[in-house]
Amino acid sequence: MPRAVISPDRTADFARRLESRQARIGIVGMGYVGLPLALLFSDARFCVTGFDIDPRKVTMLNHGDSYIVRIPSSEIQHARESGFSATGDFAQIGAMDAVIICVPTPLDEHQEPDLGYIKGTASSIAPYIHDGQLIVLESTTYPGTTEEVLVPLLKEGNPAGLEVARDSSSPGFYVAFSPEREDPGNDRIERRDIPKVVGGCGAAACDLACAMYGAIFIRTVPVSSPSIAEMTKLLENIYRCVNIALVNELKQLCMRMGIDIIEVIEAAKTKPFGFQAFYPGPGLGGHCIPIDPFYLSWKAKEFDFHTRFIELAGQINDGMPYFVVENIIEAMSQRGKALFGSRVLVLGLAYKRDVDDLRESPSLTIIELLKNRGALVEYNDPFFSTVGRGRKYALNMTSTSLDKIREFDCVVIVTDHSQYDYRSIVANAKLVVDTRNATKGINASNLVRC
């Protein structure tokens, strides 16, 4: 495994503690990013403490139980045997050699960045930061957050008056940014095989962070500043957002032209250069792709710059749930049924296949739109027996058994979970609207793809 180049003095001592596995790692936020990261460090024989403000998560982790479907409880139990523990007591931050912040960065009701979790975490850990400690932010955010928001809060809240150390011999704490690159549901790539981008407030901080991450990741990619690392994450996700918007728009055109967009994409991706396949869908979900473009657009206004291309892509993707609902209405109308008063079953709540993650899920928007138009909506999802809050208001719904599929006027496939038997669904439903091409290879008069 490649080793990072370490500066002398305190950074060299930190490197020795990493090498001997004496360094204690604290991770704030035991969610979809923080918990997998904690398990990686634990698997590499580090003593890891997970911090979270949710007492339910703390209790479950300390009992060896998982609350994320793709992480079996056996992994938590194995980590517990290796010394992993969880706590809500931020005073324990003082015992850590390094602290990694993995908290949410959502949008507020005005589609502007909500840094409340980052600010809250900074205020919670600042009183306990000590000389020589490394603080790394992983939460996706706009360029400048680490140095303009996080650092001032850490300095102001530290009673010892510590400053950010810019080299290996100066007193103070070290700060870096390293964007998370989690891909829930991806079983093809091991987490440790994903290169780790690192940007530090000074070369020493970058060296320290690279040394730490180099202990669990095959490769680290040092960059010159936290802002470069922050922008790197945004570029990765905006690249996907824009290309998905492109195929979503082409999908709508192809439907009018009577052309199968999926067949077009499959043919295009046979080109061995200059093309990467992206696929259309009912809208974007997850924490990153639907949100990141708005973070950059908001920050760009500070520089009197309007990100028209990026915002257009966001508008196209945001409009896809509305496009789906219009196609449902059309499909039912052609069969002599009105949406108002009809029973509609939505298959899949999660934002992507085979994950237990509802964040920004287009399914929630589609359910709300259908309800607003008078439909009697129910859902089925193997990962969610109930759902409370939707995108705009409380849904308070319970998953419906697929045994009742014949009772519905329309079944809408929004999330293509692998557990579903799509041939059986098509065979038993009155009408199926497929937004994911999950029924590929099935031909039936009651099947509409959109």
Instruction: For domain 10-224, give its CATH number from 3.20.20.80, 3.40.50.720, 3.20.20.70, 3.90.1280.10.
Output: 3.40.50.720
Residue among 266, 267, 179, 164 nearest 221 (CA): 179
Q: What percent of the chain has pLDDT over 70?
A: 98
Q: Which of 102, 210, 288, 410 is catalytic?
A: 288
Q: Is the dihedral of CA 135, 43, 103, 214 positive or negative?
A: positive
**pLDDT for residue 189 is more than 90:** no
Mean pLDDT of 154-179: 92
How many residues in total does the chain contain? Answer: 450
Grade residue 1 by pLDDT with cuts at 50, 70 and 90: very low
The CATH class of the 234-315 domain is mainly alpha
As given in the structure block, the two tokens for residue 317 are 């993707």
Grade residue 9 by pLDDT with cuts at 50, 70 and 90: low
C-alpha 445/C-alpha 431 separation (Å) is: 9
Annotated catalytic residue 288: yes
Contacts of 239 (CB under 8 A, 6+ apart): none
User: pLDDT digit string (tens) for 14-70?
Assistant: 888 998 999 999 999 999 999 999 999 999 999 999 999 999 999 999 999 999 989
Q: Is 344 strand, coil or helix?
A: strand
Domain with CATH 3.40.50.720 in the chain: 10-224, 319-449
**pLDDT for residue 111 is more than 90:** no
Grade residue 4 by pLDDT with cuts at 50, 70 and 90: very low
Domain with CATH 1.10.1040.10 in the chain: 234-315
Q: Which pLDDT score, from 0 to 100, does residue 265 have?
A: 97
**Could you count the other beta carbons within 10 Å of the beta carbon of residue 159?**
9
Element (H, E) at 68: none
Phi-psi map region of 102: left, alpha, beta (phi>0 left; psi -120 to 50 alpha): beta
User: pLDDT digit string (tens) for 364-398?
Assistant: 999 999 999 999 999 999 999 999 987 777 889 99
**pLDDT for residue 277 is more than 70:** yes
Q: Is the dihedral of CA 39, 40, 45, 51 positive or negative?
A: negative
Average pLDDT, whole number, for the chain? 93
User: pLDDT digit string (tens) for 72-98?
Assistant: 999 999 999 999 999 999 999 999 999
Q: What percent of the chain has pLDDT over 90?
A: 84
Asked if residues 276 and 293 have their Cβ atoms less than 8 Å apart, the reply is no
Asked if residues 178 and 207 have their Cβ atoms less than 8 Å apart, the reply is no
**pLDDT for residue 2 is more than 70:** no
Grade residue 187 by pLDDT with cuts at 50, 70 and 90: confident
Residue among 304, 57, 442, 281 nearest 425 (CA): 442
For the domain 319-449, what is the CATH superfamily, name and number?
A: NAD(P)-binding Rossmann-like Domain (3.40.50.720)
Contacts of 102 (CB under 8 A, 6+ apart): 27, 28, 29, 31, 33, 34, 37, 138, 139, 180
